[in-house]
Structure 1
Amino acid sequence: MEQLHALAHACGLSRDWTDVEGRQQRVADDALVALIAALGHEAGSEARIARSLAAVAERRMGLPAMLVADAGASIPLPIAANRAEITGEDGITRPLAVTGNQLQVTAPPGYYDLILDGHALKLAVAPPACPLPAQDQRRPWGVSLQIPSLRGEQPTPFGTFADLAEAARALGAAGGDALAINPVHALFPGHGENFSPYSPSSRLFLNGAMGDPALAGLPPLPPAGDARDLIDWPAAMPRCLAELRTVFAALDPARRAAIAAEGDAMLHRHALFDALDCHFRPQGAHGWQGWPAAFHDPNGAAARRFAAEHPEEIAFHLFVQWLARQGLEAAQTAARKAGMGIGLIADLAVGVDPAGSDAWSLRHAMLDGLTIGAPPDPLGPLGQNWSITGFSPDGLRDTGYAPWIAMIRAGLSVGGGLRIDHAFGLARLWVIPEGGATSDGAYLSFPFEDLVRLTALEAHRANALVIAEDLGTAPFGFTQAVTDRRMLGMRVLWFERAEDHGFVGAQDYEPLSTAMSGTHDTVTVAGWWRGRDLDWAEELGRLPENIGRSEAEAIREWDRGLLWSTLNHHAPRPAADDPDPVVDAAIAHIARTPSCLALVSLEDMLGLDEQPNLPGTVDVHPNWRRRIATSAARMLEDTHVQRRCAILRQARKGLEPPE
């Protein structure tokens, strides 16, 4: 089986890997065969393995569609060359020094057309690092929030970009610099069953349900009539789509035509996907895989004929995207006008629904027959299958990274920053064969250095910061590489524990990081202090093995002492049913860190017990459904919120927080 293992290595699959407890693990040979087949290579016999190895080697020997380099660096070429010249986006052509198979990249950051001994390809030149938020007057701070949880003055079924704009005005006036938002990627139109923002249809386009016609100067949507504490997505999403159709129908023909004329070919293809989804979903199809086979090809005759026969439907979905873009831009404008130095920080999901728009439109660049997840570990013996897919390493190389660049650019297009969820995916992802167990998966490597350089280049062009979500065990070399590029790691209160299990002091947080009170996946400070997470664990049978509720309570009581001894050395420890002083102290702790940016969740600003999402659950916990009790504007009238904003303002200036 030596040749099989060589082929797996050539395809970027790791046969051996280390689990979270440092134990060496090995992928079975039959699992390797299935994974290699899903990557498009035959491995069913020695002869087929030999042919596949030869094909992979030949593919890697040729010139790629794009070379990615650092400004001022010398990079190796797969061929020897005598002459090289580049043409930049400014139209100016200049020579580059080339000696044998070494190219000297003496060009400023940007994208170039490269001619290498008559061969045409692309060249991307990266800057040394990503921009950082200004630290001159004070270290910036902000709030992380889930847009659908917000409320406006009028009742709505869920929060929209209008409510985000209102939150930006309120928190900007209170001294905040940033709003870190949930992913706003496109979901399936009008479909309220798959509403997780981390399982989108497309990462190139926006969730049209977040749009608000009033932000684009159009008549507002009618009031919802009720404002529930939990979002009823199955009812709300179809209703929202129907209301947007009414707004679209009232547009004059000239405006419709102008909106439909905007955007590139990919936007029009996404509008076609949404139109087809709306057409076939009532027949029981979930995404393109359930459509008739003739529609599986976006360039096929059936898809083209549908577009020609339904121009108004295509125009409607283009309008929805335009409306969402207008709304997100309005929210960023509101943030900057309110004095926010950064404004919106977008969130990039790690993958997409295999039945969605990206998987249909970009099949040549996507993993096919593989889903993404996490390997088995002591906390999850069965591992995790997130039921999403993403780009394939070969697909990225073959397309000159074009769809990946477009995705990063879309995330940075409106706002001052981008958080990359599960940023370890820049280096490797755990991939699982379709229909296989999670344990049948393996790590698939990605062109890490190229992706990091391209991220830095796009951040440079957008003058935006990048947060690389790095919670967990990092792949070898990951931390140093992203640190060198000045991507901010995440330092979350709950995970900053010392070897003696105590909490790390504020002064010991890394400066090149984002200090956070929590994430959408973690318990809130008040919830942790009260033991609300233990309530859920007991109810759902998720307490650690051989640990009962009373033992869990005893451990939490000990941990309360550890946390309070870090947060406050002077005052008596509050009782378990008195979390407000703890929330204040935790926010002061995060604010006092030397981290480039401090983020406090909106739930912690309000002192709430419940968290937005409980990982590993679907229906037994109201994930992504909770609403904030008051409007964004009125939140700042709460004395608790006012006090916590004051703590952040003063501590980020280096002053002691108020008593």
Structure 2
Amino acid sequence: MCATPSPELTALAQAYGVATEFWDWQGRHTTVSAETIGQVLDALGVPTSTPAELVDAHRHLWLRHWRRTLPATVVLRAGWRPHVAVHVPHGTAVGLVVELEEGGLVAVRQVENWVEPRMVDEVLTGEATFEVPGDLPLGWHRLHAFVGEASEPSATAALIVTPGRLDLPAGLAHRRMFGLMTQVYQLRSANSYGIGDLADLADLATWGAADLGADFVLVNPLHAAQATAPMEASPYLPTTRRFVNPVYIRVEDIPEVGYLRSSRRSAVAKLAKRARKLNTADVIDRDAAWSAKSAALRIVHASGLSARRQRAFDGFCEREGQGLVDFATWCALADVHGQPWRHWPLDLQDSASEAVAAFRDEHRADVDFYCWLQWILTEQLASTQHLAKEAGMALGVVHDLAVGVHPDGADTWCLTDALAQGISVGAPPDQFNQMGQNWSQPPWRPDRLAELGYAPYRDMLRTVLRDAGGIRVDHIIGLFRLWWVPDGMTAKDGTYVHYDHEALIGILCLEAHRAGAVVVGEDLGVVQPFARDFMFERGILGTSILWFEWADGQPLPPEHYRELCLASVTTHDLPPTAGYLGLEHVAIREELGLLTRPVEVEREHELEAIGKVADALAARDLPHDSADVAPFVESLHRYLARTPAKLLGVSVTDLVGDRRAINQPGTDKEYPNWKLPLTGPTGELVTMEMLTRGPGPRRITRWLRQETAVPKSRPMP
């Protein structure tokens, strides 16, 4: 039996935002064990393993606030006038000013608010209250405190002004749009190196715009994976979320390729020929693809840059700063010492150590190579977005932001202090994974994010939003609370840890506002009731999947869908619709032992749901025979087209009649997650050339194109 937490431990946990109870997916009340709470608090730097530590932790609760001159970070909405508490020795004068992001100083007015002074570390400490001006511009400002006669700031904090509500991009406010949803690595063409790349994405986007009338293409996360084999297949388990996976580079589109000497050009051509043989493989081999592509890229990099191009590259490196240097250094270190980095020599495990600096100097060319790769990716991503919009897309590429990072990746080396140790992110048990999920990702420490002024979070968002029409935030509920699983425990034994959603959502809105991008939050699964209301208030779209939308035991009528949402029939965590109708997901979960109730019960439940959806189609005079797959899939999209949803998404796998699940949540090696190329209804490989010539895409998308041309608006959260 797991021990029930004591009242003292419960109170301490609640003070640090750690849940001590919750309601599961079946509505059952669950009390979190004392062991789980203790390990989570320990990961937050609050040891509670002994009675003395527990007493000491309670004593320091109020001290953590009074020991700071200024709060770590102040986040507010435009027009707000929050009060800021400033702590100084009692009786000491103090003044506050805001240093604006664009330059200039703004005085902050002190207001009357008597607070009894307290003895803090043997110093009688007072609290002064200041009111932040309500007319500050949006942006990243600095708050400076001048204590006593000091001429220089005695303390500084980040002050971030965010939009009250994120406006929809031009055009979307007055009409609806539809777009394609795809996994880029599946888009193999005749010129691919065994894996889809940014040129293939540009081809999909321009074809989707010109031939289908699509306004966006939503892609899987393009975050960087490990630099050495084996390369992590999951785009949702990257080594960093700030930088991009160079496996998506199209080598031949790099300008310097055109200036290669004949011998080097011949070497690149041979590598390309070898890699293109991978295009016929039934499983995507990232390691083989990257082996050939990286060799070709090193040849191009070694050829050098013109003076004009070198200046552009230098400017990119300067803008990206130390974060780029650290990431490139980690990649070079991984080439030499392998993975994981925790097995490296101890003096190389600290990114700020002298040994790391010495290694960087010694391997300057390799570090430069990895910086150069990110520059090339930035150029090709910008080109892809430009081509998409030039072809007629209103939004263009919508990128995906993963929940977290690989436990042995670059971010855990560069940002060790900002991530919780001994903890993985996951999800509690739900209908589709009844054992719970452990995603093996260390979470942000909410306290350290604030102390760092949310800079790592901001830098990550800026990279994903650069040259993007939008961003989909996977598991956006993680900006409100995350399911923390202590090491050594099963996923079902975790608990929720709450985050400052006002800050995290506000910063997301600020950066999206600056990028002119739409934000879509994937708000599926167990969701706090207020979270969707908060997203609606801030102008963030939710996510509606047809198979998950029910009301009173029946499929949700299309007219009752949310307006502010991205609606689609399926998602990457389910099989393509043809496979779903064939109960592919039930078969996989049975084979892998992921069911907690008999498979017969699961099949009956799913067939009943499909039957009810078929009845809903019939009630609207749409083809509704689920055994006749192609017309049924078409009807499902016609059903969604009748919703007021601002964005409608259609999966490329549904356009070609694919049946195989790309991912089975909660599994790793048990299933070939994220490794399957596009296939047709009978399992034949589908290339980009075949996709763009086939009649299937036009049959489905004509209904979406027709319906989104008609204004539909019914404001509802």
Aligned to 1:267: 324
Residue 507 (str. 1) matches residue 559 (str. 2):
yes
Aligned to 1:324: 377
- 1:44-85 deviation digits (Å, cap 9, x = unpaired): 323322333333432233322321001111213233897543
**TM-fit CA distance, 1:643:** 2.1
Give the counterpart of 1:485 among 538, 550, 567: 538
Partners of 2:135 and 2:622 in 1: how far apart? 62
Query: Judging changes above 3 Å, is the alpha-carbon distance between structure 1 residues 39 and 77 closer, same or farther for their aligned structure 2 residues?
Result: same
Paired residues for 1:330-479 under 5 Å: 330-376=383-429, 380=433, 382-479=435-532
**TM-fit CA distance, 1:232:** 1.7
Residue 8 (str. 1) matches residue 13 (str. 2):
yes
Residue 65 (str. 1) matches residue 115 (str. 2):
no
Residue 624 (str. 1) matches residue 646 (str. 2):
no
Q: Secondary structure at the match of 1:90?
A: coil
Q: Secondary structure at the match of 1:74?
A: coil
Structure 2 alignment gaps of length 5 or more:
1-5, 88-92, 113-128, 148-154, 258-267, 679-684, 713-717
**TM-fit CA distance, 1:258:** 6.1
Q: Secondary structure at the match of 1:13?
A: coil
**TM-fit CA distance, 1:644:** 2.0
Residue 90 (str. 1) matches residue 119 (str. 2):
no
Query: Judging changes above 3 Å, is the alpha-carbon distance between structure 1 residues 440 and 57 closer, same or farther for their aligned structure 2 residues?
Result: farther
- 1:510-531 deviation digits (Å, cap 9, x = unpaired): 1111111211111222222333
Query: Judging changes above 3 Å, is the alpha-carbon distance between structure 1 residues 365 and 56 closer, same or farther for their aligned structure 2 residues?
Result: farther
Aligned to 1:164: 201
Aligned to 2:635: 585
Q: Secondary structure at the match of 2:444?
A: coil
Paired residues for 1:207-246 under 5 Å: 207-219=245-257, 222-223=272-273, 224-226=275-277, 227=279, 228-246=281-299
The residue identity in structure 2 corresponding to 1:10 is A
Residue 520 (str. 1) matches residue 560 (str. 2):
no
Query: Judging changes above 3 Å, is the alpha-carbon distance between structure 1 residues 382 and 545 closer, same or farther for their aligned structure 2 residues?
Result: closer
**TM-fit CA distance, 1:2:** 3.5
CA contact (8 A) 1:367 1:390 kept: yes
- Give the structure-1-normalised TM-score: 0.92
Aligned to 1:654: 710
The residue identity in structure 2 corresponding to 1:361 is C
Higher mean alpha-carbon deviation, 353-362 vs 472-481, is at 472-481
Give the counterpart of 1:47 among 52, 55, 58: 52
Partners of 1:4 and 1:137 in 2: how far apart? 52
Aligned to 1:105: 134
Higher mean alpha-carbon deviation, 43-52 vs 441-450, is at 43-52
Query: Judging changes above 3 Å, is the alpha-carbon distance between structure 1 residues 274 and 256 closer, same or farther for their aligned structure 2 residues?
Result: farther
CA contact (8 A) 2:623 2:631 kept: no
Alignment length (residue pairs): 649
**TM-fit CA distance, 1:303:** 0.6
Query: Judging changes above 3 Å, is the alpha-carbon distance between structure 1 residues 93 and 570 closer, same or farther for their aligned structure 2 residues?
Result: closer
Aligned to 2:227: 189
Partners of 2:617 and 2:137 in 1: how far apart? 46
Partners of 2:236 and 2:416 in 1: how far apart? 20
Query: Judging changes above 3 Å, is the alpha-carbon distance between structure 1 residues 653 and 379 closer, same or farther for their aligned structure 2 residues?
Result: closer
**TM-fit CA distance, 1:573:** 5.3
CA contact (8 A) 2:398 2:471 kept: yes
Query: Judging changes above 3 Å, is the alpha-carbon distance between structure 1 residues 453 and 557 closer, same or farther for their aligned structure 2 residues?
Result: closer
Structure 1 alignment gaps of length 5 or more:
none
Give the counterpart of 1:641 among 693, 697, 701: 697
Query: Judging changes above 3 Å, is the alpha-carbon distance between structure 1 residues 94 and 260 closer, same or farther for their aligned structure 2 residues?
Result: closer
Give the counterpart of 1:498 among 531, 551, 556: 551
CA contact (8 A) 1:192 1:236 kept: no
**TM-fit CA distance, 1:464:** 0.8
**TM-fit CA distance, 1:509:** 0.7
Query: Judging changes above 3 Å, is the alpha-carbon distance between structure 1 residues 108 and 393 closer, same or farther for their aligned structure 2 residues?
Result: same
Residue 604 (str. 1) matches residue 661 (str. 2):
no
Give the counterpart of 1:132 among 168, 173, 194: 168
Higher mean alpha-carbon deviation, 93-102 vs 477-486, is at 93-102
Residue 146 (str. 1) matches residue 183 (str. 2):
yes
Partners of 1:346 and 1:185 in 2: how far apart? 10
Give the counterpart of 2:613 among 563, 584, 602: 563
**TM-fit CA distance, 1:127:** 1.0
Higher mean alpha-carbon deviation, 602-611 vs 334-343, is at 602-611
Identity of matched residues, %: 31
Query: Judging changes above 3 Å, is the alpha-carbon distance between structure 1 residues 34 and 113 closer, same or farther for their aligned structure 2 residues?
Result: closer
Partners of 1:375 and 1:553 in 2: how far apart? 23
CA contact (8 A) 1:190 1:240 kept: no
Q: Secondary structure at the match of 2:547?
A: helix
CA contact (8 A) 1:129 1:484 kept: yes
Partners of 1:471 and 1:163 in 2: how far apart? 30
Query: Judging changes above 3 Å, is the alpha-carbon distance between structure 1 residues 595 and 376 closer, same or farther for their aligned structure 2 residues?
Result: closer
Partners of 1:571 and 1:121 in 2: how far apart? 61
Query: Judging changes above 3 Å, is the alpha-carbon distance between structure 1 residues 39 and 534 closer, same or farther for their aligned structure 2 residues?
Result: closer
**TM-fit CA distance, 1:623:** 1.5
- 1:223-253 deviation digits (Å, cap 9, x = unpaired): 3242123202332233332232222223358
Query: Judging changes above 3 Å, is the alpha-carbon distance between structure 1 residues 519 and 439 closer, same or farther for their aligned structure 2 residues?
Result: closer
CA contact (8 A) 1:170 1:633 kept: no
Aligned to 1:179: 217
Partners of 1:300 and 1:512 in 2: how far apart? 48
CA contact (8 A) 2:97 2:105 kept: yes
Give the counterpart of 1:26 among 24, 31, 46: 31
CA contact (8 A) 1:345 1:417 kept: yes
Paired residues for 1:289-304 under 5 Å: 289-304=342-357
Aligned to 1:546: 598
Higher mean alpha-carbon deviation, 66-75 vs 264-273, is at 66-75
CA contact (8 A) 1:170 1:632 kept: no
Higher mean alpha-carbon deviation, 212-221 vs 407-416, is at 212-221
Query: Judging changes above 3 Å, is the alpha-carbon distance between structure 1 residues 56 and 396 closer, same or farther for their aligned structure 2 residues?
Result: farther
Q: Secondary structure at the match of 1:477?
A: helix
Give the counterpart of 2:83 among 70, 73, 76: 76
**TM-fit CA distance, 1:96:** 4.3
Partners of 1:4 and 1:91 in 2: how far apart? 46
Partners of 1:532 and 1:47 in 2: how far apart? 54
